Amino acid sequence: MIDAATQVFAVMGNPVSHSLSPVMFNRAFSETGYNGVYVAFQVTAIGDGISAMRSLGIKGASITIPHKVSILDFLDEIDPMAESIGAVNTVISHEGRLKGYNSDCLGAIKALEEITHLEGKQVAIIGAGGAARAIGFGVKSRGAGLTLINRSISKGEILAAALEAEFIPISELRSLPFDMLIQTTSVGMTPHIHQSPVPAALLTPGLLVMDIVYAPLKTRLLKDAIEAGCRTINGLSMFIHQAAFQFELWTGSPAPLAVMKQSLMDSLNPSQKRAS
């Protein structure tokens, strides 16, 4: 029941029409009895979104594409890990001050380490945005070697330099001599489910392929990877782990992980049937 005491939370990005965060968080609030509501705001200028957050008294926000880096200029305080990463995807308001955190790093590392260990592995990340920055920071912190692959050479080189990683323009990609490939862009996301950033011919058995896109659960890249004999990780695990951090930060209560996962599966399964 929404009333005058209901705390408001939101996801801010562009686009956000595909987001299942409102479904997941509202189910979690209901399950735990927390008086909160979570909505999606399509925001083109993140400075305006943060101003609205202040003016309307919004308690917390998830920050998504393309604002995870540019938001840094509009916050009062940044958590040390998020500052080291250089990207924020979580904001909480406390006594009128907005503080930014990064749960992408935590979520990705937990998802990967459920399957394998990272130390000594060679990891390639596709993308040069906020998620790539966070996940790259995480895999490096676990002792993995890192190569960035990106369409924009300038953005890719800048992030590679910041992470002390190698860089390959995607136009020059001829092979994937890595242990893991992590896809962090929006390529393949609903409704563009037939797109993949990597030619299927480059995927070989033994490669672990992770796509952080969760809608659809089985992206074109993951379908190609399965056919090539690769191991795969879909975007659901990372998404739930990073969302659990957000829920606990915002509410001070343990996240109902099973309920959050089930809410996503309930929403995704019908779309999977239609997509197939």
Is there a single domain that holds both residue 141 and residue 232? yes
Is there a single domain that holds both residue 180 and residue 119? yes
Give the pLDDT confidence score for residue 270 in this predicted structure: 60
Residues contacting residue 264 through CB under 8 Å, at least 6 positions apart: 20, 23, 24, 214, 236, 239, 240
Give a yes or no: residue 258 inside a domain. Answer: no
Residue segments in the chain with a per-residue pLDDT below the cut of 70? 270-276
Category of 218 on φ-ψ map: left (φ > 0), alpha (ψ -120 to 50) or beta? beta
Residues contacting residue 246 through CB under 8 Å, at least 6 positions apart: 60, 62, 90, 103
Q: Which domain holds residue 93?
A: 7-102
Is there a single domain that holds both residue 198 and residue 222? yes
Number of domains in the chain: 2
Give a yes or no: residue 259 inside a domain. Answer: no
Give a yes or no: residue 276 inside a domain. Answer: no
Asked about 223 being catalytic, the answer comes back as no
| CA neighbor of 222 nearest in space, from 210, 214, 238, 205 | 210
**SS3 state at 42:** strand
Residue 98 Cα distances to 12, 211, 249, angstroms: 15, 30, 13
Give a yes or no: residue 269 inside a domain. Answer: no
| CA neighbor of 46 nearest in space, from 18, 13, 83, 90 | 13
| End position of a domain, from candidates 221, 236, 251 | 236
| CA neighbor of 61 nearest in space, from 36, 29, 38, 30 | 38
Is there a single domain that holds both residue 205 and residue 222? yes
How many whole angstroms separate alpha carbon 212 and alpha carbon 225? Answer: 14
CATH of residue 71's domain is: 3.40.50.10860
Give the pLDDT confidence score for residue 274 in this predicted structure: 36
**DSSP conformational letter for 201:** G
| End position of a domain, from candidates 75, 102, 129 | 102
Is there a single domain that holds both residue 142 and residue 226? yes
Cα–Cα–Cα angle for 103, 106, 110, rounded to 5 degrees: 140
Query: Residue 12 pairs with which residues in a beta bridge?
Result: 41, 63
Give a yes or no: residue 255 inside a domain. Answer: no
Give a yes or no: residue 254 inside a domain. Answer: no
Catalytic residue of the set 59, 68, 218, 223 = 68
| End position of a domain, from candidates 48, 68, 102 | 102
Is there a single domain that holds both residue 116 and residue 202? yes
Give the pLDDT confidence score for residue 268 in this predicted structure: 86
Give a yes or no: residue 161 inside a domain. Answer: yes
Is there a single domain that holds both residue 87 and residue 187? no
Is there a single domain that holds both residue 184 and residue 153? yes
CATH of residue 123's domain is: 3.40.50.720
Give the pLDDT confidence score for residue 212 in this predicted structure: 96
Is there a single domain that holds both residue 158 and residue 78? no
Is there a single domain that holds both residue 68 and residue 48? yes
Is there a single domain that holds both residue 164 and residue 54? no
Single pTM value for the model? 0.89
Give the pLDDT confidence score for residue 276 in this predicted structure: 32
Give a yes or no: residue 249 inside a domain. Answer: no
Is there a single domain that holds both residue 19 and residue 92? yes
